[in-house]
Amino acid sequence: MRTINKEHPLMGTWVTEDEDSNLAIVISVQRGRFRVSGFTQSDGEFNRIRNVKWDGKALSFDSIVPSNGWRTLVVFRVGRDGCAKVDFTVFEVWKKKDVKPGELPAAWQTK
């Protein structure tokens, strides 16, 4: 395992480019490894961060919002411009509706 430099470009507090999201991600280095925390800016709720992995190009981790259980796989990659390209994979439960193929569920139908 490679030791991470404390001057790594992923270090810092990250928010969306337009600052239109309520989420902030803080990335730091401790004992040569990435440490990640995430919080909701409006209420200060901290996310649970798990499975932090660095493959030499991308930093990935699972983020769970305790108040609602939302789970997201987050992958950070720093571009040459110094901005992070971030992929979010949202995990949610879906249910099957008892509707015939081609028909809309009753709640979606307009009158």
* Coil vs helix vs strand at 5: coil
pLDDT at 111: 62
Could you report the per-residue pLDDT of 14-40, keeping only the tens digit for each? 998 888 888 899 999 999 999 999 998
Asked whether the beta carbons of 71 and 88 are under 8 A apart, the reply is: no
Average pLDDT, the chain: 89
β-bridge mates for residue 36, sequence order: 27
User: How much is the pLDDT for 62?
Assistant: 97
Q: Residues 30-34: contacts with CB within 8 Å, 24+ apart?
A: 32/3, 32/4, 33/3, 33/4, 34/4, 34/8, 34/10, 34/59
Look up the pTM and report it: 0.81
pLDDT tens by residue, 52-88: 999 999 999 999 999 988 899 999 999 888 889 999 9
